[in-house]
Amino acid sequence: MRIGITGHPGVGKTTLVKRVLAAVPLKAGGMITEEIRKCGYRVGFLLRDVATGKEGLLAHRHHCDGPEFGKYRLCLRDLEEIGAAAIERAVDEAELIVIDEVGPMELRSPRFISAVERALESKKHLLVTVHRASNHHLAYRIRHEVDHLIRLTKSNREEKIQEVIRLFSG
């Protein structure tokens, strides 16, 4: 089963991924990204290896030295050494590959792109969140090659979380 999740920022894509991980009986690997907030303001994005819990920075306003991306600087080393490595390991070792998310920041890394392509080509279960409007060939591939593409909204979030849990548990 390969499921893609898309939707506007803040709609709950990462929340869906975390709830599915907590509920399904599959050995999971891959990566999750989350906002870093200070005093009510977003200052960056954390990335976490699902299998090991190892964390790094995807991007930050103050603590990264990679290319600029809007208000942020990317931390390509962490993206590749933690995020892409987690996806590569999941392709080899996990039952469920989790990729949260395939978006403009992540798509700046050739190693990340390669890891996601390997995940798409594998026969393993896949749960991937993808930027809703990206024209990148990989985002297009995901939106058209998954078994189910779910457009998450605030009004359908609870229903869709339960649907994804059922699909992976059945």
- pLDDT value at residue 154: 94
SS (H, E, C) the chain: CEEEEECCCCCCHHHHHHHHHHHCCCCEEEEEEEEEEECCEEEEEEEEECCCCCEEEEEECCCCCCCEECCEEECHHHHHHHHHHHHHHHHHHCCEEEEEEECCCHHHCHHHHHHHHHHHHCCCEEEEEECCCCCCHHHHHHHHHCCEEEECCCCCHHHHHHHHHHHHHC
Q: What is the predicted pLDDT for the residue at 133?
A: 87
Non-local (6+) Cβ contacts of 48 within 8 A are 31, 32, 33, 34, 54, 55, 82
The structure's pTM equals: 0.95
What is the structure's pLDDT at 101? 93
At 143 the pLDDT is 94
Tens of pLDDT, residue by residue, the chain (170 residues): 999 999 998 899 999 999 999 999 999 999 999 999 999 999 999 999 999 999 999 999 998 888 999 999 999 999 999 999 999 999 999 999 999 999 999 999 999 999 999 999 999 999 999 998 889 999 999 999 999 999 999 999 999 999 999 999 97
Question: Where do the domains of the chain lie, and which CATH numbers do they carry?
Answer: 2-169 (3.40.50.300)
At residue 170, the pLDDT reads 78
pLDDT (tens digit, 9 = 90+) per residue, 58-106? 999 998 888 999 999 999 999 999 999 999 999 999 999 999 999 999 9
Nearest CA among 36, 67, 109 for reference residue 99: 109
